[in-house]
């Protein structure tokens, strides 16, 4: 698969800042990148088996989702924004960014979002237990996975700068070979 732009996964517990990062990155990226909010795609295109009432989340049909994503990802230039990452085949992905957030801040962000208490607790525990980071480390090569703090606007700016630098290096390497 020849790509002229990379595929970046931005993952992390809900509320850590994935969409905020993805939206800024598509503006600052030196090559055109498309932001795919995978959760919204699942909902909008019906790539699920229905809503789990207890958890207020969709039961994803992974085969349908992967079939839908494959043609979009194959060209490169894509940011996949989702709270889980191990479903994406390793060959699709050039960089996995796992956003981390202090759990008190995360609690406040999810409360503001109007999540039910049970969902806030579940996500808060997942953040404390490193669930998404462990999942990323188990699914991809260590050099492809980077964990970045997303507690403050300062972190946000630094993270975008680091990702822009990474995209420049990737592009230089992959278009000169």
Ligand X SMILES: Nc1ncnc2c1ncn2[C@@H]1O[C@H](COP(=O)(O)OP(=O)(O)O)[C@@H](O)[C@H]1O
Q: Which residues bind ligand X (CB under 6 A)?
A: 12, 14-20, 109, 150, 152-153, 155-156
**Min dist. Cβ of residue 6 to ligand X (A):** 20
Nearest to ligand X of 69, 106 (CB atom) = 106
If residue 158 lies in a helix (H) or strand (E), which one and from where to where? helix 153-176
Residue 112 known to bind ligand? no
Residue 29 known to bind ligand? no
**Min dist. Cβ of residue 35 to ligand X (A):** 11
Nearest to ligand X of 139, 150 (CB atom) = 150
Residue 113 known to bind ligand? yes
Contact present, 35 and 145 (Cβ < 8 Å):
no
Return the residue nearest ligand X (CB atom): 17
Sort residue 12 into left (φ over 0), alpha (ψ -120 to 50) or beta.
left
Residue 18 known to bind ligand? yes
Distance CA 115, CA 78 (A): 29
Burial of 122: CB neighbours in 10 Å, binned 0-12, 13-18, 19+? middle
Distance CA 174, CA 7 (A): 12
Residue numbering of the annotated binding site:
15, 17-20, 113
Residue numbering of the annotated binding site for ATP:
15, 17-20, 113
């Amino acid at each position: 698969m020849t790509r002229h732009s990379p595929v970046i996964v931005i993952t992390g517990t809900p509320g850590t800042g994935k969409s905020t990062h993805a939206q800024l990155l598509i503006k600052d990226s030196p090559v055109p990148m498309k932001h795919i909010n995978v959760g919204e795609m699942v909902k909008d295109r019906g790539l699920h088996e229905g809503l789990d009432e207890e958890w207020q989340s969709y039961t994803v049909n992974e085969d349908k989702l992967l079939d839908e994503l494959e043609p979009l990802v194959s060209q490169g230039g894509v940011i996949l924004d989702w709270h889980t990452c191990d479903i994406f085949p390793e060959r699709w992905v050039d960089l996995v960014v796992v956003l981390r957030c202090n759990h008190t801040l995360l609690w406040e962000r999810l409360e503001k979002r109007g999540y039910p208490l049970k969902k806030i607790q579940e996500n808060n525990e997942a953040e404390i237990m490193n669930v998404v980071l462990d999942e990323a480390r188990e699914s991809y090569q260590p050099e492809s996975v980077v964990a970045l703090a997303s507690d403050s606007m300062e972190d946000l700016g630094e993270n975008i700068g680091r990702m822009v630098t990474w995209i420049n290096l990737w592009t230089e390497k992959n278009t000169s070979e």
